[in-house]
Chains A and B, each alone.
Chain A
Amino acid sequence: MNEVIKPPNSSWRPRVVAFFCNWCTYTAADLAGVSRLKYAPNIRVIRLMCSGRVDPQFILDALARGADGVLIGGCHPGDCHYVEGNYKMLRRFQMLKRMLKDLGIEEERVRLEWISAAEGEKVKRVVNEMVGQVQKLGPLGMPGKFEEWDKEMEHFAAQVEEKDAAAACSCATANKPELTTA
């Protein structure tokens, strides 16, 4: 009980989106429920049949839409209900991690865990750890950043247009160069 993470005083609460496979991790989360284990309420689970279904785009989309972290749960290596879907997720995950690093997103925000159907305790531990880490890192705030970037782009486009207009005045006979703005 004491491991439950209390929300901070500010209005921000971390939001972690989780993709759990139907056979191991989702069942483990059900077991955690049946066992009445208590963990941080900041996690929202999406059920997929297999961790192999987790498209890296799902993770990026979740982060882009305001998730502060993403947790992926699959069966232990060798235990996949679909033979080896978890290995395939692992391969994608390694690539995605490099990409996230380049994007400047902290590594701890995206986590892959093997949790078997019997490991309700592990669900509790991993969720609490993950929420704790994200809490420390603070908000990722991608939607806000996108807005800012959009504004910057608009501002930049306006500047370019102004410049072009000025150029068009000075030499009205010249062809107007084609311009695409963002």
Chain B
Amino acid sequence: MKEQSNGEIRIGFYICHCGHNIAAMVDCPEVAKYVEKMPGVALSRDYKYMCSDPGQELIQKDIREFDLNRVVVASCSPLLHEHTFRGATEAGGLNPFFFHMVNIREHDSWVHTDRNEATEKAKALVRAAIERVAFHRALEVKKVPIHPDVLVVGGGIAGIHAAMTLANAGKKVFLVEREPSIGGHMAKFDKTFPTLDCAACILTPRMSEVGAHKNITLWTYSEVTKVDGYVGNFTVTVKRKPRYINEDLCTGCQECIANCVYKEPKFLDEFNEGLGKRKPVYIPFPQATPQVVLIDPEVCLNFKRGVLTDKCKKTCVEACGEKKAITFTQQDEIKEVKVGNIIIATGFQTFDAKRVPQYGYGTYPNVYTALEVERLVNASGPTGGEVILRDGKHPKAIGIIHCVGSRDNRTNRWCSRVCCMYSLKLAHLLKEHTDAEIFNFYIDMRTPGKGYEEFYNKLLEEGVQFIRGRVGEVTDWAMTPEEEGKLVLRVEDTLAGFVRRIPVDMVVLSTGLEPQADAQDVRRLFNMSCGTEGFFLERHPKLAPVNTFTDGIFLAGACQGPRDIPDTVAQAGAAAAEALVLIDRGYIEQEPNTAYVLENECSGCKSCIPLCPYTAITFDEAKEKALINEALCKGCGTCVASCPSGSIAQRLFEDEEVFSEIRGLLAF
């Protein structure tokens, strides 16, 4: 690596036009001319696209030809291209940390409207960088090995696919699922659009594969409670909730269920969206993975309000017999694992239809949510696939209301992307099951996707009615004899241009997708960000859609935003591939921005020690000085700012570097 031998600073400055993105608002040649005269600047250029290959080669060539020892590029955000230009600097034969980047796109040209002001601002920002870069020193990148195991959080189709991809590549995977079985929302669906594949037929084989895979450790009914460490070296604490069944001993024979003291199922069945009933000891659904029952302590007679009482006859224990799988004394079990990468696939929740009271969900028994209808038309659902309403009747006319909790300023503003398609699918299935007349009430039909528009056209031919307009209300107040005993949908038909009243027997609310209720907690746990809607934020919407701002943590599926099954699977594969990249490279490079103690100046006051959130600072008793463990330091700089004698410094953010930046910003 070349260091300046005689101490002379020779800065090469480049300003990027970024096509018109910067050049339209900042006078780039003018800035380049201005910089030319600054002390230490050996060369100043403006160029159309600095990040392009010729742009990067220009830097390399100039370093050699003009004997540069510092490089400053004014272009986009360093979060986007700092890495690129450090690479170019290194390729030119300099230490990559002799480079500094100025953000004149996101922070200047894109946010201002006056060209003169924007150019002046660009000059100030550039001057700060030129002043700063003179103080830069050669630094070495630290390489940290990557633990090859991966944690996947969430066992829906996204988590399943990501876990399978990694496990098939020979990596060890821990799959943690909150519910008693994996499968997620997809397991509840009857058919999938637009191919009308049976959801269970394509999903359940994947689920059993996960359960049986030698590389996958499956922890259902478990939650991640703590995450420590950083990319390559996470330590994750998982809490396994008690199911009061020993998973290793249970064979899934379900004799205990048959022999429960409750002869009939009595309690609301979560998997069937409360439309069916289950016993206190139950298996969520026939194909549940793992095939292990669980006991609900809230309703089991052997417990009272969740506390063990031992007052039941325990016929289930008798039925279990020799297997002895039932363990009423089971407690929370805490597991700790070390992993190198984490894939977050925590999915979504459906919009609570009660938040739109005018549609009468919860008031009128025959108003259903789409997910309930999925169970209702499912052959293994509570009614065996027969569409029987809550009042025992068969519907003759059905209204499907789109965009409930989507595209609505009062609730959620975003489009949930899947509702149009699943509404069409349910229309088709309901038509098939009941031969009822079906009305779809939509704002816009959004069917972008392979075979989606064709599916819509097919439905039009099937005689399903489509009415363009947002339903005002659902009411049981009849105005005519035909409306007696029916639910009436009042809607402005915006194509016909008048308000209609349409009586139906059953209303289906196509509820939108929204972030999980505890998404904020999960976000904090894994140190991620959320967008304004509350979905987890990707690092870059186009170029890093599965990465988060925290290295080694990736996103898959609807926790990042509403999406359908094909997109979810594609994204899960991408997340798995990103993890594989890190694992197979074997190490990560860490930004050398750690803090260090200037031993001669440290007075040993120890005030920095309690400030470090990573306990990276210890006290060297022999020398009576503070000592920073660089392997633990993450480079926040809190200790640096707090040291009363100024005897801690931070690489890349040295005091003189920041002060020179301030000086540069305010030089005129």
Which of chain B's residues 93-113 have a Cβ closer than 8 Å to chain A? Answer: 103, 105-108, 110-113
**B78, B636, B640: which contacts A55 (Cβ < 8 A)?**
B640
A-B contact count (CB 8 A): 144
Contact A82 B665 (CB under 8 A): no
Contact A33 B107 (CB under 8 A): yes
Which of chain B's residues 652-668 have a Cβ closer than 8 Å to chain A? Answer: 653, 655, 658-659, 661-663, 665-666
Determine the chain A residues whose CB is within 8 A of the CB of B634 once the complex forms.
82
Contact B113 A1 (CB under 8 A): yes
Contact A82 B613 (CB under 8 A): yes
Interface size class of B (residues with CB under 8 A): 35 or more
Kindly state whether residue B532 has any CB partner on chain A within 8 Å.
Answer: yes
Determine the chain B residues whose CB is within 8 A of the CB of A46 once the complex forms.
128, 658, 661-662, 665
Minimum distance in angstroms from B106 CB to a CB of chain A: 3
Contact B665 A50 (CB under 8 A): no
Give how many A residues have a beta carbon under 8 Å from the other chain's beta carbons. 53
Which of chain B's residues 73-120 have a Cβ closer than 8 Å to chain A? Answer: 77-79, 103, 105-108, 110-114, 117-118, 120
Contact A117 B537 (CB under 8 A): yes
Pick the most buried of A7, A61, A119: most chain B CB atoms within 10 A of its CB: A61
Determine the chain A residues whose CB is within 8 A of the CB of B295 once the complex forms.
none
Contact B110 A33 (CB under 8 A): yes
Contact flags A45-88 to B (C-beta < 8 A → 1, else 0): 11111101111101001100111000000000011011111001
Contact A50 B638 (CB under 8 A): yes
Determine the chain A residues whose CB is within 8 A of the CB of B593 once the complex forms.
49
Complex Cα spacing A105 to B582, Å: 51
Interface SS of A by simple majority = loop
Kindly state whether residue A114 has any CB partner on chain B within 8 Å.
Answer: no
Q: Which residue of A lies closest to B650 (CB)?
A: A53
| Given A46-B661, A118-B537, A34-B638 contact (CB < 8 Å) | no
| Given A49-B593, A78-B524, A118-B530, A58-B662 contact (CB < 8 Å) | yes
Complex Cα spacing A1 to B113, Å: 9
Which of chain B's residues 510-545 have a Cβ closer than 8 Å to chain A? Answer: 524, 527, 529-532, 537
Complex Cα spacing A51 to B38, Å: 31
| Given A36-B111, A84-B613, A65-B666 contact (CB < 8 Å) | yes
Which of chain B's residues 143-190 have a Cβ closer than 8 Å to chain A? Answer: none
Complex Cα spacing A76 to B54, Å: 41
Complex Cα spacing A85 to B638, Å: 6
Contact A17 B549 (CB under 8 A): no
Contact B79 A92 (CB under 8 A): no
Contact B529 A117 (CB under 8 A): yes
Complex Cα spacing A11 to B106, Å: 26
**A17, A24, A53: which contacts B666 (Cβ < 8 A)?**
A17
Q: Which residue of B lies closest to A44 (CB)?
A: B665
Kindly state whether residue A112 has any CB partner on chain B within 8 Å.
Answer: no
Which of chain A's residues 78-112 have a Cβ closer than 8 Å to chain B? Answer: 78-79, 81-85, 88-89, 92
Kindly state whether residue B124 has any CB partner on chain A within 8 Å.
Answer: yes
Complex Cα spacing A46 to B655, Å: 13
Contact B636 A85 (CB under 8 A): yes
Contact A65 B113 (CB under 8 A): no
12 pairs from A and B in contact (CB 8 Å cutoff): A17-B666, A30-B77, A33-B107, A37-B111, A38-B111, A39-B111, A49-B635, A61-B662, A78-B524, A92-B642, A118-B529, A118-B537
- List 5 additional A-B contacts (Cβ < 8 Å) besides A50-B636, A52-B637: A15-B666, A30-B79, A39-B112, A48-B637, A48-B653
Residues of A within 8 A of B (CB): 1, 4, 7, 15, 17, 22-24, 26-27, 29-30, 32-34, 36-39, 41, 44-50, 52-56, 58, 61-62, 65-67, 78-79, 81-85, 88-89, 92, 116-119, 124
